[in-house]
Amino acid sequence: MLPPPFKIKVVEPIALVSPAERRRALADAGYNTFLLRSDDVFIDLLTDSGTSAVSQEQRAAMELGDEAYAGSRSFFRLEAAVREAYGYTHVIPTHQGRGAEHLLCRALVEPGQLVPSNLYFTTSRVHAELAGGVWVDVAVPEASEPESLHPFKGNLDLAALRAALERGNVAFVRAEACLNMAGGQPFSIENLRGVRALTQEHGVPLVLDATRISENALFVKEREPGYEDRDLPSIIREIADLSDGAVFSSKKDHFVPIGGLLALNDDRVAERARELVVVYEGFPHYGGLAGHDMEALAQGIRESTDERMIRQYVGQSAYLGGLLSGRGVPIVLPVGAHAVFLDAKRFLPHVAQHEFPAQALAAALYLAGGVRSMERGIVSGQHGHDPYDGLELVRLTIPRRAYTQEHLAYVADVVARTYEDRKRVPGLEMVYEPETLRFFQARFEPLAAFPALGEELRERLELSA
């Protein structure tokens, strides 16, 4: 395997605080990894959102930021970069992905209308529902089966989609690339073509969540017959061309700390979205971003179509996944784009789902080695107090261009060590529950004391050094 297509020029120091400090930090954070301070974290695999390293070209471009309120040169460069990579006619910058979701849902969703989607994403669903929409999951069943080796678990179930469209009153259909909540799983272009045909037949817009479109395109190249010799930019473009528009959280594929995009082809919907952007984000020529942010974003979009860059990134998830599977740790297969997802139901079978196994496992990994991960189970996925028996995952998310294989090998050690001690990890009780998007700020107490995983791991690593 070739080494990464970049070398390190600027570094950020990180440190492993002591086991006693980790215990205190975790208790202070209410056993919720979102509430830890980053100084208390050693390897931060909470998210790939806004955590990538920027390139020297992005930093140089930032110097050229035009901070004009209206008619900024930087906006027009951003618009050109979006059109070149994806071909959409209208480009509306937003402060981040959920800003774009907000505008889209306000522009397209009438109360009572359906929004069919492959599974869901937290913020995407909340915005559809705040606009009065009704979320309908039309993912293929394999999306919710961690052990299924289906190569395209991000596919939409065409029969379920047809049924939703035949019920009528559909605002738009949402297809998410590299389906985050299923483990970063791609859709195939064949499936997207089927979705396209159905939405056209019913006159309903098809909108991509294109946040991780580059990795999806790479999986298409690797897995879908007929695409092996195609270049990555043309596959990305083919995916975008099958849709009427897209939302992007640019904090992922576009290598920027902040930024999002709403891209549309329909003039009327774009006009409505521009009326809304001035209320909620800012003038349409910056939409909540500084001129220098738009410059970094335009350059990041170009880098996100570089196959070597995307291959290196997806390769890091595969590397970590390989280390973990090799040590018998239950993970979601196939390994997806941006993360390795631990299957907490199989990792901690003694913790019932109402005792939050994924949240407890994320806490245990932090105690064991200062590794921060994210709960993606009942805390994130339960809708109100509806019954929930869905996926119960912990996401080890890889920031782009930020960590080396040595960091990832250490993470694998921490996870494997925790797996050996899994029977001693207790469940949790939720003691504070916010009304919306509760996972961000909920607080927990352990149902029994956590074992001294950290102390033991340190001893073991020191002994083997």
Residue with tokens 């909340």: 126
Q: Do the strands 260-264 and 173-176 form a parallel or antiparallel pair, or are they unpaired?
A: unpaired
For the chain, the straight-line distance linking the first and the last C-alpha, in angstroms and rounded, comes to: 27
Determine, following the binding rule CB under 6 A, whether residue 174 of this chain makes contact with ligand P61: no
Q: Among residues 16 and 428, whose Cβ is nearest to ligand P61?
A: 428
Alpha-carbon Rg for the chain in angstroms: 22
Does residue 304 bind ligand P61 (CB under 6 A)? no
Does residue 288 touch ligand P61 according to CB under 6 A?
A: no
Q: Does the annotation count 121 as an active-site position?
A: yes
Angle, in degrees to the nearest 10, between helices 73-86 and 232-241: 90
209 near ligand P61, rule: CB under 6 A? yes
* Known catalytic residue at 252: yes
Question: Of residues 146, 245, 260, 369, which one binds ligand P61 by CB under 6 A?
Answer: 260
Give me 173's structure tokens: 């259909």
Candidates 42, 121, 219, 227; catalytic one: 121
- Establish if 243 lies at the interface with ligand P61 (CB under 6 A): no
Among 121, 313, 319, 347, binds ligand P61 (CB under 6 A): 121
In whole angstroms, the minimum distance from the beta carbon of 48 to ligand P61 comes to: 6
Instruction: Report the residue number, 162 or 438, with the smaller CB distance to ligand P61.
Output: 438
Indicate whether 418 belongs to the interface with ligand P61 (CB under 6 A).
no
- Token pair listed for 300: 């990041």
For ligand P61, the binding residue among 22, 77, 98, 106 (CB under 6 A) is: 98
Sequence-ordered list of residues with C-beta below 8 angstroms from that of 377, at least 6 positions apart, any chain? 344, 353, 356, 357, 358, 359, 390, 391, 392, 393, 394
- Tell me: does residue 216 bind ligand P61 (CB under 6 A): no
User: Nearest to residue 414, comparing CAs of 344, 461, 374?
Assistant: 461
Q: How far is it, in rounded angstroms, from Cα 69 to Cα 42?
A: 40
User: Cα dist. 279→31, 99, 440 in Å?
Assistant: 37, 11, 26
Which member of 47, 113, 155, 305 binds ligand P61 (CB under 6 A)?
47
- For the bound state, the minimum distance from the C-beta of residue 97 to ligand P61, rounded and expressed in Å, comes to 2
**Matching residue, tokens 């200062």:** 370
Of the CA atoms within 13 Å of residue 112, those in its CB half-sphere come to 3
Applying CB under 6 A, which of residues 52, 72, 118, 180 lies at the interface with ligand P61? 180
- Catalytically active residues are 69, 121-122, 209, 252, 376, 439
Residues that bind ligand P61 (CB under 6 A): 47, 49, 96-98, 121-124, 176, 180, 209, 211, 249, 251, 260, 374, 380
